[in-house]
Amino acid sequence: MLAWTHIFPIIFACLVIFWYHNYQTRELQHTPEVPNVSLSVSASSKVLQQTFSRLSNDFERVLGNPNYWKLLKSHKNVSVETYDGGKGLWPVYVRTTMVINRPVSDVYKLFTYENFAKTQSYIDPFYESSTQINIDKKSSDKIINKISKCPLFYRKRLFTLAVLERKQLNDFDVMFPISGIGVSSLQKNKQVFHKNKPNNYVVPKGTPVIAMFSVNNTSINNTDHHYFEAQQQFIVWFIATDDKMSTHLEILMRVDLGLDIPRWLFIQTVGVTGIWAMNKLPKLL
């Protein structure tokens, strides 16, 4: 019978092989383009707008695709799904859908940068802090550093993000979530539902939008090895339901926390924390 002194090295070697395979596989996957910006808003505003346009087009395409969606978790009025394009794309697209019984104006405020720290610290168990770093503090476009804690022995993650508030520039089709969350209320809204397209709805032009996406801050050279630089793309649409007193939230994001965190750990975590976070959100209203 093998003693633990013999078994432990075998287990450790298997974990190392698994991690290395995961590292090599992820290294070949597509990583979203990260734009270079300076802390001067005048120099960066055009770059931010162009990046937002590309991101919006990509996210609109994915939300309108009826294939390759998988339901991770669903609870009450919240669902979390993933999309990998059928090709194992990484970072995977994560869609969160929720209906909140409050008007769009109330829910929208929770996602603005003015309430960012309060909202994140309440709904995100991994959130630690955030700081605005662009020079023009009054600009509606923010550039921030966000620090997130990670589970187990992983280093904290540093995100350098642009935060933009916009209006949807065009109508686009969205497939109803697999869980059916929000379908009944959207079907009663003639502005977003069409009988000849029973499996999807329309996000109308003018819908409030908040986007966050990673940027490379060219004004500084980050050498703080306490943090691992990570990437995130995130857009949330705030759609009024039939009675205008409820909000249908459509959130799509991609997050790359780094090569050291296994995919399975991220997928399992994002489903659980997504449901947990969205269920807490209404308590802030």
Task: Report which of residues 107 and 28 the model is more confident about.
Answer: 107
Pick the CATH number of 31-284 from 3.40.50.1220, 3.30.465.10, 3.30.530.20, 3.40.50.720: 3.30.530.20
| Rounded to 5°, angle at Cα 143 from 274 and 206 | 65
Mean pLDDT of 149-170: 89
pLDDT band at 28 (very low <50, low <70, confident <90, very high): very low
pLDDT tens digits, 119-140: 999 999 999 999 998 766 667 8
**Candidate ranges 31-40, 104-113, 150-159, 214-223; pick with highest mean pLDDT:** 104-113
pLDDT tens digits, 198-225: 889 999 999 999 999 999 876 655 555 5
Q: How many contiguous H segments (helices) and E segments (strands) does the chain have?
A: 6, 14
User: What is d(CA 67, CA 83) in angstroms, rounded to the nearest whole number?
Assistant: 8
Helix or strand holding residue 147 (H, E): strand 142-148
List of residues 6+ apart from 271 with CB closer than 8 A: 72, 73, 80
Task: Report which of residues 23 and 130 the model is more confident about.
Answer: 130
Give the residue from 142, 203, 139 showing the smallest Cα distance to 170.
203
SS3 letters for 183-252? HHHHHCCCCCCCCCCCCEEEECCCCEEEEEEECEECCCCCCCCCEEECEEEEEEEEEECCCCCCEEEEEE
Taking residue 158's Cβ as centre, other Cβ atoms within 10 Å add up to: 16
Q: For the chain, how far is it from start to end, CA to CA, in angstroms?
A: 60
Q: How does the average pLDDT of the chain come out, rounded?
A: 84
Helix or strand holding residue 70 (H, E): strand 69-75
The confidence score (pLDDT) of residue 32 equals: 59
pLDDT tens digits, 66-94: 999 999 999 989 999 999 998 888 899 99
Mean pLDDT of 57-63: 97
pLDDT band at 21 (very low <50, low <70, confident <90, very high): very low
- pLDDT of residue 260 exceeding 60, the answer is yes
Task: Report which of residues 145 and 11 the model is more confident about.
Answer: 145
The confidence score (pLDDT) of residue 23 equals: 45
- pLDDT of residue 39 exceeding 90, the answer is no
pLDDT band at 26 (very low <50, low <70, confident <90, very high): very low
The confidence score (pLDDT) of residue 227 equals: 77
DSSP state for residue 112 in the 8-state scheme: S
- pLDDT of residue 8 exceeding 90, the answer is no
For CA atoms 18, 24, 28, 32, the dihedral sign is positive
The confidence score (pLDDT) of residue 81 equals: 97
- pLDDT of residue 177 exceeding 60, the answer is yes
